[in-house]
Structure 1
């Protein structure tokens, strides 16, 4: 047993994963105001990534349950003091 599988974190994680599964993909809103040409340019450019990240700054980085467990194990095993 660990903090991911016990209360109070486990019910919260289940709620957040269910919420994420049921909501529209947030990147849709980030790209809605861009033309197709601008989207293509930003997604394929090797130099305009800062502009792309600027458009996506409010979009949360979603990870799967499996990836979340891996990140948790890596953070715990490295005795991480802070995680961004």
Structure 2
């Protein structure tokens, strides 16, 4: 991150992804020289929020079957996977 901040401080080009290759920096300089704007990428999906998942589990509990706790998804004639 320090290298990316150093590049930004030196030439005004924000590189958002490693590695910060000379080609990326040159492309950023060209974009800024043409009057464009360097937009940050969309946020990465790093997984669901824990509390959202807990609420989902509470709202949709797993059903237990009568004999061996197996309830098939979809139709009741689904084939067992074990």
**Shorter-chain TM-score: which interval?**
under 0.3
TM-score, structure 1 length as denominator?
0.24
Q: Which has the higher contact order (CA 8 A, sep 6+)?
A: 1
If the length of structure 2 is used for normalisation, what is the TM-score? 0.24
Counting helix residues as a fraction of each chain, which structure ranks higher? 1
Max radius of gyration: which structure?
2
